[in-house]
Amino acid sequence: MATLRETDMTTPSEPYRADLLADQHVLVTGGGSGLGAAMAERCASLGAAVTVCGRRRAPLDETATTIRDAGGKAEGLSCDVRKSEAVESLIDEAEERQGPVTMLLNNAAGNFLAHSHTLEDKGFDAIVDINLRGGFHMMRACGSRWIERSSGGSVLSIVTTYAETGACFVLPSAASKAGIVAMTRSLAVEWGKHGIRLNAIAPGPIPTKGAWDRLMPGADYEERMRESIPLKRFATKHDLGTLAVFLLSDQLAASVSGQVVDLDGAAKWACGASFNELARLPDEQLTATFDAMRPRKPRS
């Protein structure tokens, strides 16, 4: 199993002033764990009210409690972003509890490694529905409210470097994240006159417990991937949070819109997509590896 290295998890001091996001209400999809929770906590630490949403209630409550215990403002609300009516209800409730949403951090995503030629319809649909359809539902719901209110707003989507390059064995993720990039750039132009900015971050691999175990085939592959990065380090949750806050903030990035910023230590330019090296392995070995990485349902 892949391991998380302490050198990747150290946290530098906070570069932003403590009230940078005061009077903002940030809605974070997929905010119950991993990168979403980390970004939600970072926004709250800078004064924002935060609503984290996702399908599983327990991690949402845990993230919201962590933020409140640290002195921040947070609510956790369940939502299936694949359903437009659920998204509309979510935002109504979030705004009733903490005031108008002013920023959307579009982070909810699904992914897994699989041979594309054996990929089933339900597997493809599951990822595309969360990543692309869910992202559209959130952008439309927030954007329509901001346009009606003439309030402006900021959207930040988390995509991936292989949305541009394509990648082996993650076809639904690559296709759906490319769609999010296209929506980001399209709406940046269409909604610019309404004072709405849309940007995206394309991270390379960032160590988080859940995603790392699902997508990292082993410690040897982890080390090869690290060595292929020109900076010889994986990005951290702190790196991502720092960039996310910058792009969300009108004070820091007022003229930045329609941009996709890579956060991968120049790995995309050095070696292409993250998982392409796996294509060199025999199909039988890959099948066994993918099966071993797939989560197992607990026995009843």
Provide the strand spans (E) within 123-247.
153-158, 196-203
Q: Percent of the chain, pLDDT > 70?
A: 83
Q: Cα(101)–Cα(49) distance, rounded to whole angstroms?
A: 9
Give the residue extent of every domain in the chain: 18-293
pLDDT the model gives residue 12:
82
Q: Is 109 helix (H, G, I), strand (E, B) or coil?
A: coil
Do 274 and 225 touch, CB atoms closer than 8 A?
yes
Q: How confident is the model at residue 75 (pLDDT cuts 50, 70, 90)?
A: very high
In 3D, which of 105, 148, 110 has the Cα closest to residue 240? 105
Does pLDDT of 219 surpass 90?
no
DSSP of 40-83:
HHHHHHTT-EEEEEES-HHHHHHHHHHHHHTT-EEEEEE--TTS
Would you state the pLDDT for residue 102?
Answer: 98
Distance CA 255, CA 246 (A): 12
Task: Inform me whether the pLDDT recorded for 249 exceeds 50.
Answer: yes
176, 127 Cβ separation under 8 angstroms: yes
Burial label for 58, CB within 10 Å (0-12, 13-18, 19+), is: exposed
What is the reported pLDDT for 40?
Answer: 98
Determine which helix (DSSP H) or strand (DSSP E) holds 104, and give its type and residue range. strand 103-106
Token pair for residue 9? 């998890």
CATH of domain 18-293: 3.40.50.720
pLDDT tens string 263-279: 999 988 887 655 666 65
> Residues 6 or more apart from 188 whose CB is under 8 A from it?
197, 198, 199, 257, 258
Whether pLDDT at 95 is above 70: yes
Sign of CA dihedral 56, 59, 63, 64: positive
* Averaged pLDDT score across all residues of the chain: 88
pTM above 0.85, yes or no: yes
Q: Which residues are marked as active site?
A: 162
Tell me whether residue 247 is exposed, middle or buried, using C-beta atoms within 10 angstroms of its C-beta: 0 to 12, 13 to 18, 19 or more: buried
User: Averaged over 17-45, what is the pLDDT?
Assistant: 96
For residue 146, pLDDT beyond 70: yes
